[in-house]
Amino acid sequence: MWGVKQFAIFSVVLLVNLPGCAEAGGGAAGGPVVLMATSQGEVKIELFEKEAPETVKNFLAYVNDSFYDGTIFHRVIPGFMIQGGGFTEAMQQKPTKPAIKNEAANGLTNDTGTLAMARTNVVDSATSQFFINVNDNDFLNHKDTSMQGFGYCVFGRVIEGMDVVSAIEQVQTGRKGMHADVPQEPIIIQSMKVVSEAQYGAESES
């Protein structure tokens, strides 16, 4: 079980990086849908535009700029989360847009299958990096307005492809330079794009 010690480790990990429905619960339905194609398969993500408007706007800006194409899931911790959206396959960190306001106080929780923004120990420091919870990580939820209690903003959920997320969770990891928990074989985000249900269905059947 993740406690204070693990939370501290996670915060340090994010500082080094600078940065819920069909399959996952929490949040309201009907937001934009993004199809993420990875080297392990496709993941369909619904975004909580109403609850996290600034965060979703920021995420979609990166999607529409093709920023995520060719980036990797650079940190994988079984029973916790998979994190990506900032590094190339060569472990080079990509330049980002300015940091955004932390919307963790939106009432959404870090449940299994939800997406949240990665950040440093500075509350409003999220840029492009995000993680997918593979457990109910209650200790990451908003508790108060302090630096320690503000939490991590949930802004979406996996509505299809949790089997792909689970496969990524189980890959072999190790150290790569100063980074720990890096998949030994790169898990590449090949593309991200906004799709409609009809478009996704047609692509899936082709």
Domains annotated for the chain, with CATH where assigned, are 4-205 (2.40.100.10)
* CA 168/CA 39 separation, integer angstroms: 10
- For residue 200, the model assigns a pLDDT of 43
Residue-level pLDDT at 205: 41
The DSSP bridge partners found for residue 194 are 34
Q: What is the 3-state secondary structure (H, E, C) of 110-134?
A: CCCCEEEECCCCCCCCECCCEEEEC
Let me know the angle formed at the C-alpha of 84 by 140 and 164, rounded to the nearest 5 degrees. 95
Q: 10-residue block means of pLDDT along the chain (206 residues)?
A: 45 40 50 97 98 98 98 98 98 98 98 98 98 98 96 98 98 96 98 72 43
- Joined together, the tokens standing for residue 131 give 């993680």
Predicted local confidence at residue 29, as pLDDT: 57
The two beta strands, 114-117 and 33-38, are unpaired
